[in-house]
Amino acid sequence: MDIIRNITHAPVAIGYDDADSLRTGKGKPLQPLKTKGKFLSRLASYRVQGFRPFEPEILVRDSLRLEPFGVNGQVIHTPGHTMGSLSVCLEDGKIIAGELVMSFFTRTRPEKTLYAEDPGSLKTSLEWVLKREPTTLYAGHGGPFNFSSLSENIQEILDLTGWY
């Protein structure tokens, strides 16, 4: 993170509930949510890896307007993958949603994410994002996805069966 901060000179913002992880350099354990996540956890003996601790400049509890930083949009608290997860909602309808949704094998078909700290919060956050009918949703893995591809798979993505 220091490298990105040094190159961009941008302040680092993080969800309030993830700040302690950043400060200690240790993430919290995440639950595998589906068969692929469980399989990969066993295959890789999944453990949250440590990282170099650092102090964020901005802590986001609910939202943060981005206009002071030259961006038309806002950062929104979308807990689930971690309890401090954030999404960036731009005024042109694009949303950067990180781990709320992903595409693991095909890279083009949106699916449930593999891991979450709180699956119920993840579902609520994803429903909130999808109600905004984003023109494009950028995920941490796979995509980008347009709203029609999200709509086609919405029931499968939101189905909590197999999330626990």
If you search the block for the tokens 């005024």, which residue do you land on? 91
pLDDT for position 3: 81
pLDDT digits (tens, 9 = 90+) for 132-149: 999 999 998 888 999 888
pLDDT digits (tens, 9 = 90+) for 67-95: 999 999 999 999 999 999 999 999 999 99
pLDDT for position 26: 87
Three-class secondary structure assignment of 93-161: CEEEEECCEECCCCCCCCEECCEECCHHHHHHHHHHHHHCCCCEEEECCCCCEEHHHHHHCHHHHHCCC
pLDDT for position 80: 92
The domains of the chain, with CATH numbers, are 2-158 (3.60.15.10)
